[in-house]
Amino acid sequence: MRKWLTTSIAVYFLYGLVVYWYLFIFSGSGVPAPYEGTAADPATFMTGREQLLSQEYSTLKNFLYFVTVPFEWFLLFVFLLTGLSRKMQEWSQATSKRSFFQSAIFFFWLSLFITLLSLPVEWIGYQISKTYHITTQSFHAWIKDQLIDFWVNYFLMALIVFVVLSLIRKFEKRWWLYAWLLSIPFSMFLMFVQPVVIDPLYNDFYPLKNKELETKILEIADRADIPAEHVYEVNMSEKTNALNAYVTGIGSNSRIVLWDTTLNKLEDEEILFIMAHEMGHYVMKHIYVGIAGYLLLSLFGLLFIHLLMEKLIQRFGPLLKINSMKELTMFPLFLLLLGVLTFASSPITNTVSRYQEKSADMYAIEMTNDHEAAIHSFQELAKTGLSQVNPPLLVKIFRYSHPTMLERIHYLEEYGEKQFDEE
């Protein structure tokens, strides 16, 4: 146990050094020479200090992300290696004879263990955002959101733990297929209730107060044959200075949502472009394409986890204190493998998402026909959020579900030049 624990700590430390070298030393800043002086060059819309802060903030956040992701895997590994998982299983079985309560008790202690040990890292991220004036949220409000996160995730995951364990005990060889089939209605249900049940736990949502702007937005929706009756705004200024807008939910519960920070800092023409972008997702059915892609990946992911767990328990069961897949004590291993596969698949999902985002951008520019407002909206998004216009390649691959600001502004500039030439 000491050997494996020492090795894992050493590997994690070396990984952190490699990430530090890549982000702070190897990766350059700025934009390629052909883009200097263009609208995509931060020097044209940011002050020297803003450019410096953007580079510092983005690099720190990227470093924290890459070292945090495997940190949870490391904690799950320690939970198994030290026998804590085995002891928690024995304690939960001694507390109740019902399988559901055993699962709930076991996962509560596992969640508490991970949350408490991860809290300092989360706090560092909060402090970084606070220092660079991205986060405006008070510490009290931040802790409140952490508690909401804990309980929402706990209740959802406790249910999943119980269902998956029940399927494994009943269908040891085919549990992954039945779990996937059940995940389809479960995922659809979550997407349906999220806008009206989960999201309001964190923020206040209400119809757009600016009725004149809402009328303009609904006119674009009508041209796009979108049956929209309301646009929602959410009170985010008490938490952040960043700008955002998004589409959430499915069916009758789908919503187009604007952050109030976006309303406060952008002109109407720029907001109309952003809204047209979100409508583009609806028109091109990106939500449903995303659901289909998620379900396809999850099918192969669950099968792969099943095969890996069989091999790992067979070979390393005594070391990890796992006798079979039918035990509660195997769940840290299940979550560890799920986390690794999710991270490994992120380049694929991000690539698809970036393609969809570009399609929505082009749809929006065709609907609004105002490339200057579009470019300025992206410049303001980068400036306000201290975002890197041209991030390092690995950051883009693993973190960016949207095209980089360099790419977005560049193809909008090209669109404007093409339009000017045609005129």
Residue 357 is assigned to a ligand binding site: yes
Encode 293-306: b = buried (16+ Cβ within 10 Å), e = exposed. Answer: eeeeebbebbeebb
Residue 233 is assigned to a ligand binding site: no
d(CA 231, CA 250): 15
Residues annotated catalytic, as ranges: 278, 361
Tell me the C-alpha to C-alpha distance, in Å, between residue 113 and each of 121, 235, 344.
Answer: 14, 32, 25
Identify the residue whose tokens are 């002050």: 47
SS3 category, 307? helix
Q: Where are the alpha helices (DSSP H) in 132-259?
A: 139-170, 175-193, 211-223
By CB atoms closer than 10 A (0-12, 13-18, 19+), residue 34 is exposed
d(CA 170, CA 37): 64
d(CA 214, CA 249): 20
**CA angle, 134 as apex, 237 and 361 as ends, to 5°?**
80
259 φ, ψ to 5°? -70, 145
| Cross-sheet strand order for the sheet of 232-234 | 205-207, 232-234, 255-259, 245-248
Q: Where are the alpha helices (DSSP H) in 46-172?
A: 48-81, 84-95, 99-131, 139-170
Residue 140 is assigned to a ligand binding site: no
d(CA 46, CA 55): 12
Tell me the C-alpha to C-alpha distance, in Å, between residue 217 and each of 210, 272, 273, 274, 305.
Answer: 11, 6, 9, 10, 45
d(CA 303, CA 309): 10
Q: Which residues are annotated as a binding site?
A: 277, 281, 357
Q: Which residues are annotated as a binding site for Zn(2+)?
A: 277, 281, 357
